[in-house]
Amino acid sequence: MLPITIMMILLVMAGVIAAVKDSATAKKLAIAAHIPAFALSAAMLVISAGEPIRLAIGAEPWNVYVFVTPLASFMVSLFIGVSLLIMWASMALVNYDVDQARIPMYYSLVCVLIASLCGVVIFGNFFNVFILMEVSSFAAAGIIIIKNRPENMRAGIKYLTLSILGSSFILMGIITLYFLTGSLSVTGIHESLVAGYAGQEVALVAGYTGYEVAAYNALIFITIGIALKSGLFPMHIAFPDAYAIAPSTSSAVLSSLVQKAYIFFYIMVLHKAFGIEVIMNDPVMSTTLFLVMAVGAAAMIAGSAMALLQTDLKRMIAYSSVAQVGYFFLGVGMGTRLGLFAVIFHFLTHAVTKAMLFLVAGSVIQQTDNRTIDKMGGIGAQMRVTMALFTVGALSMIGIPLLIGFNSKWFFAMGIFESQHLWLLGVLALSSLLNGCYYLPVVVRAFFGKEAAEAKQLGQSLELSVRGLVPIICLAFLVVAFAVIGGPIYYINMGIESIW
């Protein structure tokens, strides 16, 4: 019942917050909901390490089926943990972005969003997962348009529409799998597919003669759907708008958490429903996966190249996310153990780093009322701590050792080696160089140069209140700590072992 309890805590609290309608109480309640949820998810980490948690209510296929592998509980802890820090920071940031009257609604939506993301990860029945994906899409759109401006409305609608298109594609894939196997649970589908597979080399669907194409279609549809929902280039078009225009705390949640749930679902489809050895032995499916990898590589470059062209700080970070999503798909597409490891580790990396960057961007925008990078000269003199935190994030994205970004880059490189696509090393190197090209100028302009000297003369501090800074500092601390602590690596390895 542990996973359900975690979700229920968040959902119930979402209801309570919606009912309370007092913004100060709403903030406290949201955080109060996250803390026990996080504690329970930590407990779940430990429990699921021993044995996956399974819980089925009702009979297949239309039942509620919870299936928590160590990787899933890792994701749940990541979601709730990072969200907790973001919520904490939002106490100082959200008033700038959201009308006072809508703040309870905002926190309520965030709680629903996090609960549904956890649900996407822990449920083993694809139908359950699908419903939660839809809920998460709507909640995510809600925290974009809550800002109540026409451009937010447009961005939210764009985001939601494309997200729904993605869901439809995923649904088509799920239905196809259901049609082939008569099952909706991840384990049931796998057993059924492998029974058809029966150890034969090529014919995945030997038991489904005449429906091989259907199996291919299922994979392709799910792939396209996930690509749409998580903003893989060139289907990212809704994302930069959404992230740039949403309240900064929403951008942090959206960019660092939401996409990951969908990609995790994709990993589950590949590794648990189909089974990776089946996919890699089938020419069509392995080609699909190869294309995923290649498109991921293209996204890494294209996202960064577009980030380079931005003048708006948040848009730039948003495009950086497009590039980072490319990393995930690159790793997933390798279809190797090290590739998968790199992806899961990069979940952690990107979650903490991008959350930090968006929160910093949010505080800069809030304190200076300016989002244009060109006008941020010398901001380091007035917001020393904030910009130092930004620097940590930027250096991590570039991949400087002893920051978590380097570890990710390293694991991706190892994955690339294992998969023998050595040209990707060049892509990886180029991508980190491009990261440098757009993150460093912000840092440089903030701390060095004439404007910095002039700003120093002014000497007035625009720093965010300590209450707002502490959670961002915690994130920065995590960026360093996870680079040198072996715990996550060990745990992720164990998790991958359990699903391989």
Partner 1 sequence: MLPIVIMLTLFAAAGVIFVIKVNVIAKRLAIAAHVLALALSALMLAVTADEPISVILGTEPWNFYVLVTPLDAFMVSLFIGVSLFILWASVTMIDHDIEQARIPMYYALMCVLIATLCGVVVFENFFNVFLLVEASSFAAAGTVVIKNKPENMRAGLKYISLSILGSSFILMGIIILYFITDSLSITGIYASLSTNFTDNEDSVRNALIFITLGTALKSALFPLHIWLPDAHGTAPSPSSAALSALVLKAYIFLYVKILYKAIGAEILLNDEIMLLTLFLVMVTGAVAMIAGSIFALMQSDIKRMIAYSSVAQIGYIFMGIGMGTRLGLFAAIFHILTHAVTKALLFLAAGSIIEQTHNRTISKMGGLGSQMRITMLLFTVGSLSMIGIPLFIGFNSKWFYAVGIIDSHNYWLLGVLALSSLLNAAYYLPIVLRAFFGKSDTEDFLPRQSLECPMRALMPIICLAFLIVALALLGGPVNSYIYMGIDSIW
Partner 2 sequence: MSFWLLIPILLPIAAGAALPLVVGDNRDRLQVYVASVVILNTGFAVAAAGLGDTGFRALELTSVINLHIRIDDLARFFLVLSSGLWLLVTFYSFGYIKRDGRDKSFFAFFLMSYGAVMGACLSGNFFTLYLFYELITLLAYPMVVHSGTPEAMKAGVKYLMYSFFGAALALVAFVFVANYGFTTDFTPGGVLDPVALAGNEGFLPFVFLLAFIGFGCKAYIWPLFDWVPASYPLAPHPAAALFSGVVSKIAVLAIVRTTFYVFGVDVVIGSWAQTALIVITLLTVFMGSMLAYKEKLFSKRLAYSSVSQLSYVLFGIILLNPLAFLGAMLHVVFHGIIKTALFLSAGAVTHKTGKSYVYELRGIGKAMPVAMWCFTMASVALVGIPPTGGFVSKWHIATGGIASNHPTLGMVGAAVLLVSALLTAGYLVTIFADAFFPGAGFSYKKLVNAESGKLMTVPLVILASLTLLLGMFPGALIEFINGISAIIGI
Applying CB under 8 A, which residues contact partner 2? 395, 398, 400-402, 407, 409-410, 413-414, 416-417, 422, 425-426, 429-430, 432-433, 436-437, 440-441, 444-445, 447-450, 452-453, 456, 483-486, 489
Regarding 86 and contact with partner 1 (CB under 8 A), the answer is no
CA 493, 495, 497, 499 torsion-angle sign: negative
Q: Which does 96 bind (CB under 5 to 8 A by kind): partner 2, partner 1, none?
A: none
Which residue from 450, 431, 428 is spatially nearest to 439, judged by alpha carbons?
A: 431
Regarding 57 and contact with partner 1 (CB under 8 A), the answer is no
Give the amino acid at 395.
L
Beta bridge partners of 372: 312
232 contacts 298 by C-beta, under 8 angstroms: no
Q: How many CB atoms lie within 10 A of CB 128?
A: 20
Q: How far is CA 79 from CA 8, 74, 267, 398, in A?
A: 15, 9, 17, 24
Regarding 341 and contact with partner 1 (CB under 8 A), the answer is no
Regarding 239 and contact with partner 1 (CB under 8 A), the answer is no
Regarding 156 and contact with partner 1 (CB under 8 A), the answer is yes
Regarding 123 and contact with partner 1 (CB under 8 A), the answer is no
State both tokens at 375.
């006008």
Q: How many CB atoms lie within 10 A of CB 304?
A: 26
In the set 45, 165, 308, 437, which binds partner 1 (CB under 8 A)?
165
| Interatomic CA distance for residues 483 and 249, integer angstroms | 25
In the set 46, 179, 182, 425, which binds partner 1 (CB under 8 A)?
179
Q: Alpha-carbon Rg of the chain, whole angstroms?
A: 22
Give min distance, CB of 408 to partner 2, in A. Answer: 12
Q: Output 178 or 417, the one with its CB closest to partner 2.
A: 417
| Interatomic CA distance for residues 128 and 131, integer angstroms | 5
Give min distance, CB of 315 to partner 1, in A. Answer: 22
Beta bridge partners of 185: 125
DSSP 8-class letter at 400: -
Give min distance, CB of 427 to partner 2, in A. Answer: 11
Using the contact rule CB under 8 A, the part of the chain among 126-134, 285-293, 306-314, 336-344 near partner 1 is 126-134
| Interatomic CA distance for residues 292 and 98, integer angstroms | 38
Q: Output 125 or 382, the one with its CB closest to partner 1.
A: 125
In the set 31, 49, 64, 172, which binds partner 1 (CB under 8 A)?
172
Q: Which does 400 bind (CB under 5 to 8 A by kind): partner 1, partner 2, none?
A: partner 2
Q: Output 262 or 438, the one with its CB closest to partner 2.
A: 438
State both tokens at 180.
């082939």
Give min distance, CB of 384 to partner 1, in A. Answer: 38
Using the contact rule CB under 8 A, the part of the chain among 196-204, 208-216, 304-312, 421-429 near partner 1 is 208-216
DSSP 8-class letter at 459: -
Q: Output 208 or 406, the one with its CB closest to partner 2.
A: 406
Regarding 106 and contact with partner 1 (CB under 8 A), the answer is no
Q: Tell how far CA 172 is from the center of its chain.
A: 23
How would DSSP label each residue in 361-383? Answer: HHHHHHHHS--BGGGGTTHHHHS
- The contact set with partner 1 (CB under 8 A) reads 127, 130-131, 134, 141, 145-146, 148, 150, 152-153, 156-157, 160-162, 164-165, 167-169, 171-172, 175-176, 178-179, 211, 213-214, 217, 221, 225
